């Protein structure tokens, strides 16, 4: 099993550009989520999904869109990148409520 | 709202010694989970240990153990026989058992191991 796979590992965008961060898991996990990690602030939840076709907002959803058309994939879309979105992004998944999160290796995004 | 506080931004310990990382949290829930995650320079988030609030017994995983004080809302991590590979950022995290799916993280403690 590959676990949770995020692509790309690094990305540089100009302000106003759009892009999609990819996340895939091969563990048949129902729950998937996106976090961002900023210095001195820990990880904060952006969006999450409890199953295919179901998504919901987390703590910091503005500027991001998600969809969940399959159990395996949970892409994160930046519609119009801003310098405030410079961060490290983590995708994570888990099976049931009693299970811990499994994290991908992160994507470092820089918006200039 | 739930909050998680790690009051030690940095800690250091001599190799083979024991170190304790502090974590306190605030919640009105009675059923929840607590976690410690390790983030080495590779950036990967690795689960170290978890604790269910309904369990009075403190969780242990090899050299890692916790001191869970529910009434005090305290969840410290003890690392025994520290090794160079333990050097990392350590994050404490909280999640309620029901309802809200959000995992709330503390701001982390950077642990340095002194050879």
Q: pLDDT (tens digit, 9 = 90+) per residue, B26-69? A: 999 889 999 999 999 989 999 999 999 998 899 999 999 999 99
User: Å from A54 to nearest chain B CA?
Assistant: 13
User: Å from A17 to nearest chain B CA?
Assistant: 26
Mean pLDDT value across residues A72-80: 97
Contact B68, B51 (CB under 8 A): yes
B90 bridge partner residues: B38, B109
pLDDT band at A41 (very low <50, low <70, confident <90, very high): confident
Q: Over chain B, what is the mean pLDDT?
A: 93
Chain A residues with CB under 8 Å of B94 CB are none
In this prediction, residue A95 carries a pLDDT of 87
Does the beta-carbon distance from B105 to A56 stay under 8 Å? no
Q: What is the DSSP letter of A73?
A: B
Q: Find the closest chain B residue to A41 by CA distance.
A: B107
Using CB atoms within 10 A of its CB, is residue A97 exposed (0-12), middle (13-18) or buried (19+)?
Answer: middle
Chain B residues with CB under 8 Å of A40 CB are 107
Contact A7, A76 (CB under 8 A): no
Query: In terms of DSSP bridges, do strands A31-37 and B10-14 run parallel, antiparallel, or are they unpaired?
Result: unpaired
Q: Which of A101-105, B19-23, B87-91, B101-105 has the least mean pLDDT?
A: B101-105
Does the beta-carbon distance from B42 to A105 stay under 8 Å? yes
How many CB pairs below 8 A link A and B?
50
Residue A1: both structure tokens together: 């099993």
Q: Which of A20-24, A34-38, B46-50, B56-60 has the least mean pLDDT?
A: B56-60
Distance of alpha carbon A44 from alpha carbon A58, whole angstroms: 8
Q: What is the DSSP letter of B86?
A: G
In this prediction, residue A42 carries a pLDDT of 84
Q: Residue A94's CB: how many other CB atoms inside 10 A?
A: 21
Q: Testing the interface with B: which of A103, A104, A105, A109 to mutate, by most B Cβ within 10 A? A: A103
- The SS3 call for residue B60 is strand
pLDDT band at B98 (very low <50, low <70, confident <90, very high): confident
Q: Find the closest chain A residue to B53 by CA distance.
A: A98
Does the beta-carbon distance from A100 to B44 stay under 8 Å? no
Which bin fits B16, alpha (ψ -120 to 50), beta or left (φ > 0)? left
Q: Residue A105's CB: how many other CB atoms inside 10 A?
A: 16
Chain A residues with CB under 8 Å of B101 CB are 31, 33, 48, 50, 56
């Amino acid at each position: 099993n590959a676990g949770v796979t995020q692509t790309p590992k690094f990305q540089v965008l100009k302000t106003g550009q759009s892009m999609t961060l990819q996340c895939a898991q091969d563990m048949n996990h129902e729950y998937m989520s996106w976090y961002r990690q900023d210095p001195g602030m820990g990880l904060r939840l952006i969006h999450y999904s409890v199953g295919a076709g179901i998504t919901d907002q987390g703590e910091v959803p503005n500027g991001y869109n998600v969809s969940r058309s399959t159990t395996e994939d949970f892409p994160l879309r930046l519609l119009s990148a801003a310098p405030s979105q410079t961060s490290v992004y983590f995708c994570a998944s888990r099976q049931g409520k009693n299970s811990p999160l499994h994290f991908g290796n992160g994507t470092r995004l820089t918006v200039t | 709202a739930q909050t998680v506080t790690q009051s030690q931004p940095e800690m250091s310990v001599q190799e083979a010694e024991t170190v304790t990382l502090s974590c306190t949290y605030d919640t009105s829930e009675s059923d929840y989970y607590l976690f410690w995650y390790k983030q080495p320079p590779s950036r990967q988030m690795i689960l170290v240990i978890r604790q269910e609030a309904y369990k009075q017994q403190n969780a242990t995983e090899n050299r890692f153990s916790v001191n869970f004080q529910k009434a005090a809302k305290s969840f410290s991590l003890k690392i025994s026989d520290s090794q160079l590979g333990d050097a990392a950022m350590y994050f404490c995290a909280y999640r309620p058992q029901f309802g809200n799916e959000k995992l709330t993280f503390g701001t982390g403690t950077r642990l340095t191991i002194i050879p």
